[in-house]
């Protein structure tokens, strides 16, 4: 038995020569496609499989594994001649981290991450909605940490609010409160640039998490390094 952990890139296949009877996918945020080959020919095509999937080729083992990922991610799997299994894949899901303005993803696609909107260089008095997609397995993530970092020359942000739902709507009924105490309202206190990072935690109610903010400064834009960062943690 051997465990592989690969750093996959979007659409770039990885092929490995390893004979086996059992294939078990241990880790992948987004579904992957696996081709199990024998003597240079495709024996079985496993399309869009997710973590926890396993297959048994008792009658005719494979000799080569080919994997394609829809986006950059870590993919881990086992190849074995003996039966193996995974009791609970939820606890094995990776933490999702994403920052505004970095590595955009397509909303509703397989890969989680930042979709659109950024507070960097936000114009004076302007508002923006920063949208993150937690991916198709959003319901297996119990807590999302949201960090907001306004930077000078602007004096800061006003009315920072967090929303979540099945789409990117910022309806008031989707506004979230702090996950661990009622003392946090649905709106942050105004954030001064001099105070650095402001952080809270919320429980997602859909695959999308949105952060709305307004530049509190009527004369100066937000700094170019201003950002919103999220980290989504799977259920333990």
Is it true that the peptide bond before 153 is cis, omega within 30 degrees of 0? yes
Residue 85 in tokens: 């299994």
Instruction: Considering the chain, tell me which residue range(s) the CATH 2.60.120.260 domain(s) occupy.
Output: 2-90
Residue 26 in tokens: 């241990």
Name, in order, each residue with C-beta under 8 angstroms of 139's C-beta and a sequence gap of 6 or more: none
Q: Compute the distance between CA of residue 148 and CA of residue 42 in angstroms, rounded to an integer.
A: 48
Name, in order, each residue with C-beta under 8 angstroms of 3's C-beta and a sequence gap of 6 or more: 26, 76, 77, 78
Mean pLDDT of 215-222: 94
Give the 3-state secondary structure of residue 193.
helix
- pLDDT greater than 80 at residue 170: no
Domain 95-234 classified CATH 2.60.120? yes
Q: Can you give the pLDDT at residue 55?
A: 84
Q: What are the backbone dihedrals phi and psi of residue 113, each rounded to the nearest 5 degrees, phi first? A: 150, -165
- pLDDT greater than 70 at residue 128: yes
Strand order in the sheet with 54-56: 2-8, 73-80, 22-27, 54-56
Q: How many residues does the chain have?
A: 236
Residue 89 in tokens: 């894949």
CA–chain centroid gap for 159, Å, is 25
Q: Give the class (CATH, top level) of 2-90.
A: mainly beta
In this predicted model, what pLDDT tens digit does every residue of 16-60 receive, in sequence order? Answer: 999 888 888 888 888 899 999 887 777 788 998 888 888 888 777
Q: Can you give the pLDDT at residue 182?
A: 35
Q: Can you give the pLDDT at residue 41?
A: 75
- Per-chain mean pLDDT for the chain: 84
Mean pLDDT of 144-165: 90
Q: Can you give the pLDDT at residue 227?
A: 93
Q: Can you give the pLDDT at residue 177?
A: 61
Name, in order, each residue with C-beta under 8 angstroms of 137's C-beta and a sequence gap of 6 or more: 29, 50, 93
Mean pLDDT of 117-128: 96
């Amino acid at each position: 038995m051997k465990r592989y952990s690969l750093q996959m890139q979007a659409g770039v296949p990885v092929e490995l020569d390893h004979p086996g009877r059992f294939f078990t996918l241990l880790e992948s945020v987004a579904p992957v496609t696996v081709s199990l080959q024998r003597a240079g020919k495709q024996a079985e095509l496993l399309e869009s499989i997710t973590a926890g999937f396993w297959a048994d080729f008792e009658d005719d083992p494979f000799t080569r594994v080919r994997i394609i990922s829809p986006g950059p991610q870590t993919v881990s799997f086992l190849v074995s001649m003996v039966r193996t299994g995974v009791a609970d894949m939820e606890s094995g899901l990776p933490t999702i981290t994403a920052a505004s303005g970095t590595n955009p993803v397509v909303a509703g696609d397989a890969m989680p991450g930042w979709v659109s909107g950024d507070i960097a260089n936000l114009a004076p008095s302007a508002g923006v909605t920063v949208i993150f997609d937690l991916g198709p397995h959003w319901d297996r993530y119990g807590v999302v940490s949201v960090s907001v970092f306004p930077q000078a020359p602007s004096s800061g942000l006003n009315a920072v609010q967090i929303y979540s739902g099945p789409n990117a709507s910022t309806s008031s009924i989707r506004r979230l409160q702090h996950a661990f105490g009622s003392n946090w309202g649905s709106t942050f206190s105004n954030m001064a640039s001099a105070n650095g990072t402001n952080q809270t935690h919320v429980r997602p109610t859909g695959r999308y998490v949105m952060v709305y903010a307004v530049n509190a400064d009527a004369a100066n834009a937000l700094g170019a390094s201003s950002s919103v960062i999220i980290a989504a943690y799977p259920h333990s």
